[in-house]
Chains A and B, each alone.
Chain A
Amino acid sequence: MTINQFLILGSLLFSLGVYGVLVRRNAVAVLLSIELMLAAVNINLVAFGSLLGDTLRTGHIFALFVITVAAAEVGIGLAIVILIFRNRASANVDELDLMKW
């Protein structure tokens, strides 16, 4: 296994996530795309941790941290989406222009 195959798969998944974040209008779908991007980051980190001969396994540890932060992000993000939906009866991100100058 070369390390580059994992890096290319990671970049492909990350760019899919970027496309989803830009093109989706529903806030939950945007959060889904962010999860895809975080999964791509995890693939890169674990590949680094396994294939570079790192005895400290830094990549694996960082992947665990990324998973933790992603769980926190989803919890807060969905709470905010539900709050916005309760106040404005819509979860579309392009209708949330309250802070637009």
Chain B
Amino acid sequence: MSFGDWIGQSENIVFLVIGVVMLVAGFWVVTSRNLVHAVLMLVLALAGSAALFLMLGAEFVAWTVVLVYIGAVVVLFLFGLMITRAPLRRDPVSLDHARRWPAMLVAGAVFATLAYATTAFYGWKEGAAVTPSPTGDLGDLLFNRFVIPFEAVSFVLLAALIGGIVLARKDPRE
């Protein structure tokens, strides 16, 4: 499949736009000196991923990302920032380590390895036609075939809930 054929499909142009927005937002997340800006750029990156999920027909996953990530996790991050008084503007203590090149090297190696390992198997042929996966079907699967992992994950959430309370509250004996 040549690049001309690929770019000729309108959905791939949409993918390209969303992908570039996500990459710019992701780059901003890891380089911004203002952490509130970094959190807001994370919102943009996650919204881009939700848009990609809608393109792929995974509507329930997309709205779950919007609700859980953008609605809850980002608010939690902003709370964490405000409570720990993280540097909101330029500040004498640098937000990043001084030595960036080793980290860039490792990130580049991770990208090369992952991109090769995942793409080498599939090749550049057209994927199966996207059929929307309705929320009802997903619910059926979740409560029939995947009910054991579902229960396990709900226990994980319960443990996280209790753990969060235990960790964050003050010790009454102090």
Q: Which residues of A contact B (CB under 8 A)?
A: 1-20, 22-29, 31-33, 35-36, 39, 42-44, 46-47, 49-53, 56-57, 60-61, 63-65, 67-76, 78-83, 85, 91-92, 94
Contact indicator A16/B153 (Cβ below 8 Å):
no
Task: Classify chain B: how many residues form its interface, as a range.
Answer: 35 or more
Q: Which residue of A lies closest to B39 (CB)?
A: A32
CB within 8 Å for A35 and B73 given contacts A15-B114, A56-B145, A68-B153: yes
> Smallest distance from the beta carbon of A77 to chain B beta carbons, Å?
9
- B: residues with CB less than 8 A from A are 1, 6, 9, 11-12, 15, 19, 22-23, 26-27, 29-30, 35, 38-39, 42, 45-46, 49, 52-53, 55-58, 60-61, 64-65, 68-69, 72-73, 76-77, 79-81, 83-87, 93-97, 100, 102-104, 106-108, 110-111, 114-115, 118-119, 122-128, 130, 133, 137-138, 141-142, 145-146, 149, 153, 156-157, 159-161, 163-164, 167-168
Is the Cβ of B30 less than 8 Å from the Cβ of A20?
yes
Q: Cβ of A27: which chain B residues have Cβ within 8 Å of it?
A: 84
**A1 CB contact (under 8 Å) in B15, B42, B72, B83:** B15
Contact A75 B141 (CB under 8 A): no
Q: Are B97 and A25 in contact, CB atoms less than 8 angstroms apart? A: yes
Asked whether, in the complex, the Cβ of A16 is within 8 Å of the Cβ of B79, the reply is no
For the complex formed, measure the closest distance between the CB of B145 and the CB atoms of chain A, giving whole angstroms. 7
| A and B contact pairs by CB, cutoff 8 A, 24 listed | A1-B130, A5-B6, A7-B119, A9-B52, A12-B115, A13-B23, A19-B103, A24-B30, A26-B95, A28-B80, A32-B38, A42-B53, A42-B61, A43-B49, A46-B53, A53-B128, A57-B137, A57-B138, A63-B58, A67-B65, A68-B156, A72-B160, A75-B160, A85-B85
A26, A35, A47, A76: which contacts B86 (Cβ < 8 A)?
A26
- Nearest-Cβ distance from residue B150 to partner chain A, whole angstroms: 8
Find out whether the CB atom of B122 lies under 8 angstroms from the CB atom of A78.
no
Chain A residues with Cβ below 8 Å from B114 are: 10-11, 14-15
Contact B123 A50 (CB under 8 A): no
Instruction: Given A12-B111, A19-B30, answer yes or no on A4-B81 (Cβ-Cβ < 8 Å).
Output: no
Q: Are B168 and A61 in contact (CB under 8 A)?
A: no
Asked if A81 and B80 sit within 8 Å, CB to CB, the answer is yes
Q: With CB as the reference atom, state the residue of chain A lying closest to B168.
A: A79
Taking A69-B156, A91-B84 as contacts, is the C-beta distance between A78 and B79 under 8 angstroms?
A: yes
Contact (Cβ within 8 A) B1 A13? no
Contact of B29 among A15, A33, A72 (CB under 8 A): A33
B26 touching A17, Cβ below 8 Å:
yes
- Decide: B115 and A8 in contact? CB cutoff 8 A: yes
